[in-house]
Structures are given as C-alpha cells and as structure tokens.
C-alpha cells in the first residue's frame, strides 16, 4: 500500500538529518514541510514559543497529548534536564511507529515514553502506570474536541498542582473555543495567549498557556 505522509517524513529525516542530532532532525522536518509536503507539526514559529515555555518551566514531569511524528516530542525532550523523561500519548499506531523512529534517530529515546492509546483512557492511568503525582508541564496537541474534557480529567485525577503549566496548540486554527472559554474564565487558571501562525503558513494561529492556581 502507498506510504503515509509521516512515513515519507521519516525517510526525509533519515536522508537529511544527522543521527543523534536533535536540531538537525527538527530542521529536516521543517524543510520537508516547507518544500515537500505540509504536515501538522507544531512547526518552527510556534515551536520556538514552545521551547521558551519549556525552558522557563524547566519541568521534572512532562506530558504531551498527540505525538504525531515526534517533532514536538524532540523539541521538548532536547531541553529537559538529565534524568527527566517525558510521556507522550499517540492514538494512531502507524504514526506512533514513525515517531518512535524519529525520536530514536534524534538520540532521545531514553528521555521519552511513548504510549499508544487515547488520552481519555490513559490520563486516569498515569499515577498507577508511571508513578506520577502531578505534571509540571502538559502540551495539548492532539484533537481540538478533547482539550476541554481532558483538562477536566486532569483536575478530577489530581494530576495538577499549584503552578502546573498547560500549553495548547491550535487554539485559533482549527480552534478550541470551549477550551479557551474555560481556561480564560475559570478562577483556577491564569491564561495567556501567544499569537503566531499555523505551521508553515501565513494563517493566524497561536498557543494558549494556562497556569493552574490550585
Ligand atoms: O488535529 C490536529 N491535531 C494537532 N495539531 C493539529 C495542527 O497543528 C493543525 F495545524 C491541524 C490543521 C489545521 C488546519 C488545517 F487546514 C489542517 C490541519 C490539525 C487538524 C485539524 C483538523 C483536522 F481535521 C485534522 C487536523 C491538528
Ligand atoms: Mg497542532
């Protein structure tokens, strides 16, 4: 059967990237998306904002919802302190298989735990399966209709602590209006919008950073 876009992206990383060099993997994916095929990685512009928030938080416990090809996984993992691991959840097994290879090509496999399944099923299992008390940093980049139910799940499961930072992609395009309304109007969050553009385009998009106040 015909290859998928993530599988073609992996080939481009193996051809144009340097094994063990995360920056070269990030650049190879951005080049592929700009010159070969658009793909829904967070991209370089929003990726730089992601980098700055991760660096500012310097998290010990990290969760990513939506691995896709592992682009943002590599961006985050390359910035983590030694010994810190990030957990990333991916629903699509074909994409998960590509992401594992891209993360390994970057040399970051020891900093990443990739779990296949749906966020709704896996979030309640975080404490028992991975010994997590609370998350310092969460990146939401899976499916717009899951942002609100999943943030409520984090609250119900006691996975947030005073100061936990949630960063959400695509809050303008395709848009997550119910999630935005919730985090911007809830007294339990301090929210801030970072304007940017849809990856590799001139279309308006942005990231919403929300700090849990306890
Ligand atoms: O679903 C997503 N998850 C995570 N990040 C995404 C992302 O960063 C995107 F840019 C898009 C996007 C936006 C505009 C567009 F035209 C195509 C795709 C999507 C997305 C939105 C609707 C779909 F039907 C399929 C994919 C996602
Ligand atoms: Mg996205």
What pLDDT, on a 0 to 100 scale, did the predictor assign at position 172?
98
State the residue for tokens 């080049």.
31
Entry pTM:
0.99
Please list all protein residues whose beta carbon sits less than 5 angstroms from ligand 2, which is an ion: 141, 169-170
Q: Which residue lies with its CA nearest to atom 24 of ligand 1?
A: 174
- Tell me the two tokens of residue 72: 């943002």
Residue 48 CB contacts under 8 Å (≥ 6 apart), including other chains: none
Whether residue 144 lies in the annotated active site: yes
- Tell me the two tokens of residue 100: 């594992």
Q: Which residue lies with its CA nearest to atom 23 of ligand 1?
A: 174
What pLDDT, on a 0 to 100 scale, did the predictor assign at position 1?
85
> Could you tell me where the DSSP H helices lie in 36-83?
43-57, 71-77
Verify whether ligand 1 is closer than 6 Å to residue 198 (CB atom).
yes
Whether residue 44 lies in the annotated active site: no
- Tell me the two tokens of residue 118: 């749906």
What pLDDT, on a 0 to 100 scale, did the predictor assign at position 116?
99
Whether residue 205 lies in the annotated active site: no
Whether residue 181 lies in the annotated active site: no
Q: How far is the CA of 159 from the centre of ligand 1 (A)?
A: 26
For residue 15, count other CB atoms closer than 10 A to its CB: 9
pLDDT in tens, the chain (214 residues): 899 999 999 999 999 999 999 999 999 999 999 999 999 999 999 999 999 999 999 999 999 999 999 999 999 999 999 999 999 999 999 999 999 999 999 999 999 999 999 999 999 999 999 999 999 999 999 999 999 999 999 999 999 999 999 999 999 999 999 999 999 999 999 999 999 999 999 999 999 999 999 9
Verify whether ligand 1 is closer than 6 Å to residue 95 (CB atom).
no
Verify whether ligand 1 is closer than 6 Å to residue 90 (CB atom).
no
Please report the atom of ligand 1 found closest to the CA of residue 199.
10
Least distant ligand from the CA of 65: 1
Q: Cβ(141)–Cβ(207) under 8 Å?
A: no
Distance CA 196, CA 203 (A): 9
Q: Cβ(132)–Cβ(61) under 8 Å?
A: yes
Distance CA 133, CA 160 (A): 8
Whether residue 145 lies in the annotated active site: no
Closest CA to 54 of 143, 168, 132, 139: 139
3-state SS of 2-40 is CCCHHHHHHHHHHHHCCCCCHHHHHHHHHHHHHHCCCCC
């Amino acid at each position: 059967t015909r290859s998928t876009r993530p599988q073609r992206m992996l080939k481009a990383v193996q051809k144009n990237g340097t094994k063990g060099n995360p920056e070269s993997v990030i650049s190879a994916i951005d080049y592929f998306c700009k010159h070969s095929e658009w793909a829904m990685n967070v991209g370089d512009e929003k990726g730089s904002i992601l980098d700055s928030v991760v660096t500012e938080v310097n998290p010990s416990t990290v969760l990513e919802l939506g691995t896709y090809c592992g682009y943002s996984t590599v961006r985050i993992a390359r910035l983590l302190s030694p010994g810190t691991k990030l957990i990333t959840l991916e629903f699509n097994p074909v994409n998960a298989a590509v992401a594992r290879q891209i993360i390994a090509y970057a040399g970051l496999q020891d900093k990443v735990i990739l779990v296949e399944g749906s966020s709704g099923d896996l979030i309640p299992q975080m404490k028992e399966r991975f010994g997590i008390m609370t998350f310092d940093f969460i990146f939401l980049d899976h499916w717009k209709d899951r942002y609100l139910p999943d943030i409520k799940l984090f609250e119900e499961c006691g996975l947030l602590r005073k100061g936990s930072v949630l960063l959400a992609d695509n809050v303008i395009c395709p848009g997550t209006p119910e999630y935005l309304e919730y985090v911007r109007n809830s007294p339990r969050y301090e929210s801030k919008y970072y304007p940017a553009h849809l990856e590799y385009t001139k279309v308006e998009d942005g990231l919403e950073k929300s700090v849990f106040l306890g």
